[in-house]
């Protein structure tokens, strides 16, 4: 089984206990709905800039951009925003390598939609807001996530959610996407069985 | 990696990590706010026992773009004996709470002494020591080559000039070998160091033959203060045999680039029209230097200490 790069291997304690909560078709439907919700809220894609958080957020942003292009008929591109240099836990681990940042368009006065796979503590998104602050001044910033698993540590919420997934802290949510992991699936691993 | 003292200590994976990180950090210079908050609250001391313009400014810009506090310490004119002064200075820096010391010293090995004597606890970055090494220069050179030539594995790099006194040549030879490139040193026999046969390079006295095979040609500065030391008969003869002029440049492969660590002696090791030509990446080397030094500072100071 391919492990998510963002999460440690699920070999601790209750190993092997994993259940799939979203399969490929579920993910496709969720992304299609999120696409329409973004378009509805912003009355089209005219000023929308999609920025994915590496690595899986970028794949999701690209998929949403593809769907938007189909629906709207005009090309929508997605970028990537690496937040490593803005994280608040840099000093708790050895220096980590940077991911690619690619801002397709000027963000000034645009509606930036941040895209990530799992919303958990909210600290990554807080870092992303700081990073965005150094790139310009968007008219609005919105947040789209595939899974919201709760346990926020900062006052943030998502605007577009694929699935709300109540979890316990001992569980791990693994998102696998075809681009990096050969298969589309969201699974919950571990926890009290 | 705790210190950066020699490119000989850097593994291929570490070098690639530094260059990949620099690739991302290069984009920061294009942004409206050229600053990252990463090293907020960290102190970087530039400790320069020897004159330098571009290296010191480059390190200063790199540290400031990462939001570190920078203290410039110019030790020029110090009359204290070398060992003592370095120790006392290190103790002072430790008392000030320096997280990293960027040191340039006229004595080879001074950064090594500073890093291993346990006078201070910060990271030590060698910014040039005597005729020994200048690792960040080699990293920025490799970075510049990689941007123009792609992966350096199997590439042919020719380094020309005063290899004997050049810390740039030594650092480059070691790093480029680690990255898989073939390095050829071209110099008059008097300007090749003793023991060069133990370096992972080949040597030649014939620049014309070498330029035709090179993917990159790096010219080294002829240190004018050494011209009277009988290393070569005259400046004119040196320039004719080992200088890069338009005619020689035209014999290089079309994709090959011309490099120089600076400062240049135009008309001596490199002619003005070559230095200003489209194949010269000399100005770009300076730009890349800031990104590479940011990468080194981030990787040494950015994580847990």
From residue A55, give the alpha-carbon distance in Å to each of A12, A14, A61, B172. Answer: 24, 27, 10, 34
Residue A19 lies in a domain: no
ipTM of the complex: 0.85
| Substitution target from A81, A90, A99 for chain B, most B beta carbons within 10 A | A90
CB contact under 8 A, B32 and A135: yes
The string of DSSP letters for B150-210 reads S--TT-EEEEES--TT-HHHHHHHHHHHHTT-EEEEE--GGGSPTTGGGSSSEEES-HHHH
A166: confidence class by pLDDT, cuts 50, 70, 90? very high
Burial of A79 (0-12, 13-18, 19+ CB in 10 A): buried
Contacts of B24 in chain A (CB under 8 A): 82, 98-101
Residue A115 lies in a domain: yes
**pTM of the predicted structure, to 2 decimals:** 0.91
CB contact under 8 A, B303 and A90: yes
Residue with tokens 């004719």: B240
Residue A13 lies in a domain: no
- Is the minimum CB–CB distance between A129 and chain B shorter than 8 Å? no
pLDDT at res. A37? 97
Contacts of B32 in chain A (CB under 8 A): 134-136
Question: Looking at the predicted structure, is the pLDDT value of residue A16 above 50?
Answer: yes
Smallest Cα–Cα separation from B166: which of B193, B200, B198? B193
Distance between CA A156 and CA A143 in Å, rounded? 10
- Is the minimum CB–CB distance between A19 and chain B shorter than 8 Å? no
Which of B25, B37, B304 lies at the smallest CB-CB distance from A94? B304
- Is the minimum CB–CB distance between A86 and chain B shorter than 8 Å? yes
Strand partners, B190: none
pLDDT at res. A117? 96
Residue A14 lies in a domain: no
Quote the domain boundaries for residue A72: 27-89+98-190
pLDDT tens track for A47-64:
999 999 999 999 999 999
Smallest Cα–Cα separation from B37: which of A86, A92, A126, A123? A86
Smallest Cα–Cα separation from B59: which of B49, B73, B45? B45
Task: For chain A, give the percent of residues with pLDDT over 90.
Answer: 80
Mean pLDDT to the nearest integer, A69-89: 93
pLDDT at res. B9? 95
CB contact under 8 A, A95 and B298: yes
Contacts of A91 in chain B (CB under 8 A): 303-305
Question: Looking at the predicted structure, is the pLDDT value of residue A124 above 90?
Answer: yes
pLDDT at res. B239? 93
Can you read off the two tokens belonging to residue B263? 């400062």
CB contact under 8 A, B31 and A134: yes
Distance between CA A148 and CA A166 in Å, rounded? 8
Cα B235 to the center of its chain, rounded Å: 25
pLDDT at res. A154? 96
CB contact under 8 A, A86 and B21: no
- Is the minimum CB–CB distance between A130 and chain B shorter than 8 Å? yes
What total number of domains does chain A contain? 1
CB contact under 8 A, B302 and A95: yes
CB contact under 8 A, A95 and B300: yes
Smallest Cα–Cα separation from A20: which of A188, A166, A146? A188
Smallest Cα–Cα separation from B125: which of B98, B162, B146? B98
Q: Please identify every stretch of chain B with a pLDDT value under 50, giving residue numbers as ranges.
A: 79-81
pLDDT at res. B234? 85
Smallest Cα–Cα separation from A173: which of A70, A21, A15, A58? A21
CATH number assigned to the domain comprising residue A126: 3.40.50.2020
Mean pLDDT to the nearest integer, A131-141: 94
- Is the minimum CB–CB distance between A106 and chain B shorter than 8 Å? no
The string of DSSP letters for B223-261 reads -GGGTTSSSSS-HHHHHHHH-B-HHHHHTS-TT-EEE--
pLDDT at res. A6? 47
Residue A32 lies in a domain: yes
**d(CA B243, nearest CA chain A) in Å:** 40
Question: Looking at the predicted structure, is the pLDDT value of residue A193 above 60?
Answer: no
- Domains, chain B, in order of start with CATH, read 7-134+286-301 (3.40.50.1370), 136-281 (3.40.50.1370)
Residue A66 lies in a domain: yes
pLDDT at res. B275? 96
Residue A39 lies in a domain: yes
Contacts of A85 in chain B (CB under 8 A): 36-38, 298, 302
Contacts of B21 in chain A (CB under 8 A): 97-98
3 state SS of B287: helix
pLDDT at res. A29? 97
Residue with tokens 């291929």: B12
pLDDT at res. A96? 87
Alpha helix (H) residue ranges in chain A: 24-42, 56-72, 123-133, 178-181
CB contact under 8 A, B20 and A98: yes
Residue A7 lies in a domain: no
CB contact under 8 A, A85 and B37: yes
Cα torsion at A90, A95, A96, A100 (round to 10°)? 80
Other CB atoms within a 10 A radius of the CB of residue A5 amount to 10
Question: Looking at the predicted structure, is the pLDDT value of residue A11 above 70?
Answer: no
Question: Looking at the predicted structure, is the pLDDT value of residue A7 above 50?
Answer: no
With vertex at residue A127, the alpha carbon angle to CA A122 and CA A129, rounded to the nearest 5 degrees, is: 95
């Amino acid at each position: 089984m391919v492990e998510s790069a963002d999460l440690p291997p699920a070999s601790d304690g209750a190993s092997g206990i994993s259940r799939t909560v979203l399969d490929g078709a579920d993910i496709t439907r969720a992304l299609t709905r999120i696409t329409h919700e973004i378009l509805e809220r912003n009355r089209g894609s005219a000023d929308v800039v999609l920025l994915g958080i590496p690595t899986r957020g970028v794949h999701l942003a690209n998929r949403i951009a593809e769907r938007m292009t189909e629906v709207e008929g005009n090309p929508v591109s997605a970028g990537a925003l690496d937040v490593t240099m803005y994280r608040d836990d840099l000093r708790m681990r050895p220096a980590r390598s940077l991911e690619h940042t690619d801002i397709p368009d000027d963000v000034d006065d645009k509606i930036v939609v941040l895209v990530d796979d799992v919303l958990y503590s909210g600290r990554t998104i807080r870092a992303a807001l700081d990073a965005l602050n150094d790139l310009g001044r968007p008219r609005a910033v919105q947040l789209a996530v595939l899974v919201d698993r709760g346990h926020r540590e900062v006052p943030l919420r998502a605007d577009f959610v694929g699935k709300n997934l109540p979890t316990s802290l001992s569980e791990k949510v693994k998102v696998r996407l075809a681009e990096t992991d050969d298969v589309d699936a969201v699974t919950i691993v571990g926890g009290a069985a | 990696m705790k210190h950066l003292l020699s490119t000989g200590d850097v593994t291929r994976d570490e070098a690639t990590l530094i260059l990949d990180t620099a690739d991302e950090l290069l984009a920061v210079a294009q942004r409206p706010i050229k600053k990252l908050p990463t090293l907020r609250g960290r102190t970087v001391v530039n400790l320069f026992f020897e004159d330098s313009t571009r290296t010191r400014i480059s390190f200063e810009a790199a540290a400031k773009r990462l939001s570190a506090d920078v203290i410039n310490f110019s030790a020029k004119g110090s009359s204290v004996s070398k060992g003592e002064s370095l120790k006392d200075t290190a103790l002072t820096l430790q008392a000030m709470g320096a997280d990293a010391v960027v040191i340039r010293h006229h004595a080879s090995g001074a950064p090594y002494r500073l890093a291993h004597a346990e006078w201070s606890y910060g990271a030590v970055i060698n910014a040039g020591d005597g005729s020994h090494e200048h690792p960040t220069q080699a990293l920025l050179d490799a970075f510049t080559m990689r941007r123009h030539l792609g992966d350096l594995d199997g590439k042919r790099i020719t380094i020309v000039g005063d290899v004997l006194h050049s810390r740039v040549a030594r650092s480059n030879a070691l790093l480029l070998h680690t990255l898989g490139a073939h390095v050829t040193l071209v110099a008059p026999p008097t300007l090749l160091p003793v023991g060069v046969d133990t370096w992972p390079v080949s040597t030649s006295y014939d620049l014309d033959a070498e330029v035709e095979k090179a993917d990159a040609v790096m010219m080294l500065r002829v240190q004018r203060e050494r011209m009277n030391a009988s290393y070569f008969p005259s400046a004119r003869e040196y320039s004719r045999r080992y200088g890069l002029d338009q005619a020689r440049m035209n014999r290089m492969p079309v994709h090959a680039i011309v490099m120089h660590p600076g400062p240049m002696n135009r008309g001596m090791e490199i002619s003005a029209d070559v230095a200003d030509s489209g194949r010269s990446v000399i100005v770009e080397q300076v730009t890349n230097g800031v990104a590479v030094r940011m990468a080194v500072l981030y990787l040494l100071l950015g994580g847990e200490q």
